[in-house]
Chains A and B, each alone.
Chain A
Amino acid sequence: MTIGIEHYLIVSAVLFAIGLFIVLAKRNLIGALMGVELMLNAVNLTFIAFARFTESAQPIAGQVFAVFVITVAAGEAALALGLAVAVYRTRASIDAEDMSTLKW
C-alpha cells in the first residue's frame, strides 16, 4: 500500500470541515479562533501535499506558500487574540452571541 495525494487531501478536507464547524458553531471567541487555526493548517497540508506529489516547474512553490500561510497565521492569531482580549475588557464576555451590536 502506498500513500498518495488523495490520502492527504482527504485528511485536509476533514480537518478543514472540522475547523469550519468550530468557527461557525462555537460560542466562545477564543474557541472559534482555534477553528481558524485548524483550517489554516488544513490548507497548509494541501499545499505541501501538492508540492510533494504534483508535476510542477518549481515544486517547492507549494511549500513557499505554506510558509506564507504560517506567517500570516501567526499575525492573525496575535491580532485576533488581542481583539478577543480587548472585547473581553469592554464587555466582560467573549461569547460570540453577545456581540450583536455594531456600536456601544
Chain B
Amino acid sequence: MTMQTEPFIMNIGPQHPSTHGVFRIRVALDGEVITDADMIMGYLHRSMEKLAEERTYTQNIPFTDRIDYLAAMSNNLAYVMAVEKLASVEVPERGQYLRVIMAEFQRIASHAMAVGTFVNDCGAWQTPLMYMFKERERILDLFEMTCGARLTCNYVRIGGVSYDIPDEFLPKAWELVREMPGILDEYEGLLVENEILLARSKGIGVLTAQEAINFSCTGPMLRGSGVAWDLRKADPYAVYDRMQFEIPVGRNGDCYDRFRVRLEEMRQSGRILKQCLEQLPGGQATNPVPLALRPPVGEAYAAVEGPRGELGFYIVSDGGPAPYRFHVRAPSLINLTALPKMTIGSTVADAVVILGSVDIVVGEVDR
C-alpha cells in the first residue's frame, strides 16, 4: 500500500517568529515530518559587498556593523584587520588589548542572545531570553559609554580604535567580569538539566564532525560536532596568543551540544576578559592613519573567530581609495547550508530548534 498524496508544502517564514529575521524555509511535510527542506534567502539583501566598492576603506567600517548586527565589534575587527594587513598598518598594544576586550564582550553578548532565542525556540515563554538580556544589557552599556552606540558600534578603526575607554569603563567591566562565573552558574542551573529542554534538543539535528567539515561549518556549529577548532588558537590574531583559555567542544554534534558549547564559551570569554583587563597596558590606543587610505595594489584576507564562527574579509585593492573587491566570508550563511541536512527527517518543531541552534543573523546571511 502506498500513499498517493501530494506533499504538504509549508513555508516557515519569511515572516515567522522563529526565523530570526526575514528568512524562509520551504518544507515539504509528511504529517509533521519534514521530507524536503528548501532554503530561500535574500529577503534582507542590501548589496553591501557592491556598495563597499564605492566607499573609502574607513567609510566601509559602518557596513560591517550592519552585516552582523549582534556582533558589530567582531565584524569591525575582522574588516579592519584585513585592511591593516593590506596596508601594513601597525596597531599599538593598548589598541590590540582594547580590541580583544570588546570582541570578547561582544561574544558574550551575542552568545547570550543566541542561547536565549534558542531556548525560546524550544518553546519557553521569553523567560530565559529575559535573563540573558540582563547581562547583555550591561555589556551594551559598556559599549555605549565607550563609543556612544550600543548595537552598531563602529568602534574599531584602521590603526586602532575610535576612542580610548572612558574612566568609568574599567570599574564596570571588572565588576561584570568578576560576576560572570556566578551569572553563568545561574544560567546553567536554569537550563542545562531542564528535562524538557533536554528532550527537545538532545539528539536533534545531529551533525557529525565529517559533515560539519564538509559543510565548512565553523564556530560553535563545528565545535559542537567534536572538532576543537578555534581561530584564536589555530591562527592567533591580536593578543590572543598571550591568553590562557580553552576550547569547549561537544561530542555528540546535536543542538544540545551547540547550546552547551555557547554557554561554556561565555565562561572562557570571561577568563580572557579577566586576563586582558589585568594586562591592559597604557599608552596610545591608535596609530593615526590618513582617512583616505590608499593601500598598495594587492589582496588580503583576515578572519577572526566571531561568535558565529570564522568571520573573514577578503579585500582586493587596486591602489585607489576604495576596495576593488570586498567579500565577506559570513559564518551564518555557511553554517546555514547544513540546515537541510539536519532538518530532513525531523519534525517541524525540531526544525525550529535546529535553526535556533545554528544561530543565524539574517543580516549576515544575506548581507
Q: Which A residues are within 8 Å of any B CB, using their own CB?
A: 86, 89-90, 92
Asked if A92 and B4 sit within 8 Å, CB to CB, the answer is yes
Point out the residues of chain A lying under 8 angstroms from B3, CB to CB.
Answer: 89
Interface of chain B residues 1 through 48 with chain A (CB within 8 A): 1-5
A92 to B4, CA, bound (A): 6
Query: Whose C-beta in chain A lies nearest to the C-beta of B5?
Result: A92
- Interface majority SS (helix, strand, loop, mixed), chain B: loop
Output the least CB separation between A88 and chain B (Å): 9
8 contacts between A and B (CB under 8 A): A86-B1, A89-B1, A89-B2, A89-B3, A89-B4, A90-B1, A92-B4, A92-B5
Residues of A within 8 A of B1 (CB): 86, 89-90
Quote the shortest CB–CB distance from B8 to chain A (angstroms).
Answer: 15
- Which residues in B have some Cβ–Cβ distance to A below 8 Å? 1-5
Closest to B3 in A: A89
- For B2, list chain A residues within 8 Å (CB): 89
For A93, the closest partner residue in chain B by CB is B4
Distance, CA A89 to CA B30, complexed state (A): 14
State the Cβ distance, B5 to closest chain A Cβ, in Å: 8
The CA-CA distance from A66 to B248 in the complex, in Å, is 67
Contacts of A86 in B (CB 8 A): 1
Chain A residue at smallest Cβ distance from B2: A89
CB distance from A28 to the nearest CB of B (A): 17
Contacts of A90 in B (CB 8 A): 1
Cα distance, A92 to B1, chains bound together (Å): 11
Alpha-carbon distance A86/B4, docked complex (angstroms)? 12
Report the separation of the CA atoms of residues A89 and B5 in the bound assembly, to the nearest whole angstrom.
8
The CA of A90 and the CA of B2, in the complex, are separated in Å by 7
Query: Shortest beta-carbon distance, A19 to chain B, in Å?
Result: 31
Please give me the residue from chain B that is nearest to A86 by CB atom.
B1
* A83, chain B: closest CB distance, angstroms: 13
Q: Which one of B2, B4, B5 has the greatest number of beta carbons of chain A within 10 Å?
A: B4
In the bound assembly, the distance between CA atoms of A89 and B2 in angstroms comes to 7
Shortest beta-carbon distance from A29 to chain B in Å: 17
Which residue of chain B has the shortest Cβ distance to A91 in the bound complex? B4
Alpha-carbon distance between A54 and B3 when the two chains are bound, in angstroms = 52
Cα distance A92–B3 in the bound complex, in angstroms: 8
CA distance A89 to B3 in the complex (A): 5
CB distance from B314 to the nearest CB of A (A): 54
Which residues on A sit within 8 Å (CB–CB) of B4?
Answer: 89, 92
How many angstroms between the C-alpha atoms of A96 and B360 in the bound complex? 52
Q: How far is the CB of A67 from chain B (nearest CB, A)?
A: 35
For the complex formed, measure the closest distance between the CB of A24 and the CB atoms of chain B, giving whole angstroms.
29
Chain A nearest CB from B6 CB (Å) reads 11
Instruction: Find chain B residues with CB under 8 A from A89 CB.
Output: 1-4
Q: How far is the CB of B1 from chain A (nearest CB, A)?
A: 5
